[in-house]
Amino acid sequence: MVAKGIKGSKLFQVNVLFSAAGGLYYPAIPLFLRSINISIDETSLLLSGLSLSSFISTIIWGRVADSPQRRGRIITVTTLSGAALYMALALPLPLVAFVVILLVSNLVLSGLMPTVMAEASGWVNAIDEFGYFWIGGSLGYAITTAFTGYVLGRFGIRLIFLLSSLLILGVYALARGLATNDSHVVTVNVGDVVQNHVRISGVFWLFTVAVVIFLFTDVAKNLYIPVFYAFDLGMGYALATLTLSIETFLEIPVIYAFTRVLKSTNAWVIFNLSLVLAGLYFIINALIPPNPLLAFTAMATYSLVWGTYSVSSSALVSRLTGLGRRGTAYGVYNAAFPIANVIGPLYIGYAISSSGYRHGLMYLSAPPLIMGLALLGAFKFTGNESVKTGT
């Protein structure tokens, strides 16, 4: 049953390829910058600047995607332009030109995910489809991060972006008809009827703050923990990025399990559990000795962190917003990641550069732990408030 659902899911297929591209270039960027002697503070500043473009772009694209009629065109523009820009990044470029083109690519490609998620949020089987979406993301990311360090070390950053460009072209081929598929029955939350399809709940903005705090953990996991493993624990590029791959494969059964749990359990509780687990993840990494097996084990615990977060947070977005504002809501939701990437490298980089990796990670554990415990019982949103309607 699971295999049949995944096989027929366009969301799964799209996110496999999109996340595979991210798994190639995203963890490669800080490693590449380190290899050309860019300092951690300069790297953090650069990553924050690049993410600022994604934040602005995601909000704008999400607002445009409030209109279902525009979603197909957004998918075409973002994927084809993004593939062309990644192809340009595969050319021999000076660092300034590399950064500028990467900045523009963020502005373009950031529109894809809020558009796709806004479209899928109205489907009658949205919970299952979002589960398949996140499983596809984990699978794609796991496959390519297994080879990112090897490809970077052996062939350099140019091949990384060439392969990423080809993957984004595959995303276009799969996603171009997604927003014009009329075979799905939409689902409307009871809250949407009350909100006349135009309102975003005030609780949504508190939820967004919690999402940003959570995503500091994801920034650290993808950008800083592998550097810690590669240099401080002496594991090298290949093993350090391989830990990302193994962990991401483990996310797949966890995501599926919590997709099932979400149908009968309070989504807010699962979301806040993810915050608590994020804090514990920092603590575990701060305490591990320089042992590759223990590093793999520590990274593997992140599968529980991401598995609980992904299914609960994507469901809460639609439950806190009216149907007519889903593009904006999913734009804000997706913008939380670039916000975390703007603030996170500065915040995480300062904590690590001033205190060292181990003490810095201990300090970083406090915000998600405190937020998760404080909000755990504050609001009650269950997974059974949806009713079916016709398109």
Pick the CATH number of 9-388 from 1.10.760.10, 1.20.1250.20, 3.90.950.10, 3.40.50.880: 1.20.1250.20
Give, in order, the Cα–Cα distances in Å from 134 to each of 34, 192, 197, 201, 355. 30, 25, 26, 24, 35
Q: Residues 6 or more apart from 215 whose CB is under 8 A from it?
A: 336, 337, 339, 340, 344
**Residue 43 · residue 344 · CB < 8 Å:** no
Average pLDDT, the chain: 83
Is residue 365 very low, low, confident or very high in pLDDT (cuts 50, 70, 90)?
very high
First-to-last alpha carbon distance for the chain, in angstroms, is 26
Give, in order, the Cα–Cα distances in Å from 144 to each of 162, 170, 267. 13, 15, 31
Which carries the bigger pLDDT value, residue 136 or residue 43?
136
Average pLDDT over residues 213-242: 88
Average pLDDT over residues 103-123: 86
The most confident of the ranges 3-12, 47-56, 139-148, 215-224 is 215-224
* Cα–Cα distance, 295 to 317 (Å, whole number): 34
Percentage of the residues of the chain whose pLDDT score is greater than 90? 33
Judge residue 110's burial from the number of C-beta atoms within 10 Å of its C-beta, 0-12 exposed, 13-18 middle, 19 or more buried.
buried
Query: What local confidence, expressed as pLDDT, does residue 294 receive?
Result: 94
Which H/E stretch holds residue 82? helix 71-89
User: What's the maximum distance between 2 C-alpha atoms anywhere in the chain?
Assistant: 58
Stated length of the chain:
391
Give 123's DSSP letter.
B
Query: What local confidence, expressed as pLDDT, does residue 382 receive?
Result: 40
Residues 374-389 pLDDT 10s:
887 666 554 444 333 3
Is residue 238 very low, low, confident or very high in pLDDT (cuts 50, 70, 90)?
confident
Q: Where are the domains of the chain?
A: 9-388
Average pLDDT over residues 171-190: 62
